[in-house]
């Protein structure tokens, strides 16, 4: 049997931090792992900025609740039902994701979580485990699933390589250049076509 592991931000929904930066007007929150390579250092900086500006989890959740899904994302998810099961695999945080998950029908999400004090201040972040995305694929393979994995960025590559079928969905050019052996698709209709092809040419 197949299971589809799908990244969240950049594939089904827009990038959360870029939109938090846009809505709050705090340009420094636009920083990504392309600017600060060390993810832990980047997250620490983000939490410092939130603290400086007195922004709580409620403010962030408000911004996230205003985000629209990528056009076509809901249709893609509904198309999967009855064809192949999907789990969402993301480096986001549980507390950020709920407003987004609600919009796509509450799929299961494998991600991290935050530490929040009684006033709603985000005091720390907790990675569920190292190499979290890849390990979800491995866990499913140990349960005798074959995995189709979809992602768009550097933090998806080990997951895509671990899966039986890894697909890059609208990645930036540098991710394509650095991973020329991984299939790239540019639209949900191409993605549907490729997923159909994989499911049809491989038995349950």
* DSSP-derived secondary structure for 37-96: --HHHHHHHHHHHHHHTT--HHHHHHHHHHPPPPTTHHHHHHHHTTT-EEEEEEEEEHHH
* 113 counts as binding its own copies under rule CB under 8 A: yes
Among 6, 136, 157, 160, binds its own copies (CB under 8 A): 136
Note whether 6 and 73 are within 8 A (CB): no
The nearer residue to its own copies, 59 or 98, going by C-beta atoms, is: 98
Q: Specify the stretch interacting with its own copies by CB under 8 A; choose among 28-36, 44-52, 143-151, 168-176.
A: 143-151
The H-or-E segment that residue 186 falls in is none
Any idea which residues carry the catalytic annotation?
A: 7, 9
The nearer residue to its own copies, 110 or 188, going by C-beta atoms, is: 110
Residue 10 falls in which region: left (phi positive, over 0), alpha (psi -120 to 50) or beta: left
The H-or-E segment that residue 180 falls in is none
Sequence length of the chain is: 204
* 150 counts as binding its own copies under rule CB under 8 A: no
Least distance CB 107 / its own copies (angstroms):
7
Of 135, 191, 155, 186, nearest to 15 by C-alpha is 155
CA distance 78 to 152: 21
- Write out the binding residues for its own copies, residues 52-81 only, by CB under 8 A: 81
Among 37, 82, 118, 200, binds its own copies (CB under 8 A): 82
Q: Specify the stretch interacting with its own copies by CB under 8 A; choose among 11-19, 104-112, 172-180, 188-196.
A: 104-112
Residues that bind its own copies (CB under 8 A): 1, 81-82, 85-87, 94, 98, 101-102, 105-110, 113, 126, 128-129, 132, 135-136, 139-140, 142-145, 204
């Amino acid at each position: 049997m197949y299971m589809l592991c799908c990244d969240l931000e950049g594939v089904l929904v827009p990038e959360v931090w870029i939109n938090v930066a846009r809505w709050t007007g705090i340009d420094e929150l636009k920083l990504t792992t392309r600017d600060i390579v060390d993810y832990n250092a980047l997250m620490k900086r983000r939490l410092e900025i939130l603290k400086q500006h007195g922004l709580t989890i409620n403010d962030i959740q408000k911004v996230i609740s205003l985000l629209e899904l990528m056009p076509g994302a809901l249709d893609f998810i509904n198309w999967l039902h009855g064809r192949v099961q999907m789990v969402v695999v993301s480096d986001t945080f549980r507390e950020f994701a709920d407003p987004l998950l609600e919009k796509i029908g509450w799929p299961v999400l494998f991600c991290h979580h935050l530490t929040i004090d009684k006033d709603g201040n985000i005091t720390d972040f907790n990675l569920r485990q190292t190499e979290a995305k890849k390990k979800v694929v491995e866990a499913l393979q140990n349960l005798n699933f074959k995995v189709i994995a979809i992602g768009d960025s550097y933090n998806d590559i080990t997951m895509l390589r671990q899966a039986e079928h890894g697909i890059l969905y609208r990645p930036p050019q540098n991710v394509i250049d650095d991973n020329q052996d991984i299939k790239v698709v540019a639209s949900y209709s191409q993605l549907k076509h490729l997923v159909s092809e994989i499911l049809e040419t491989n038995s349950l």
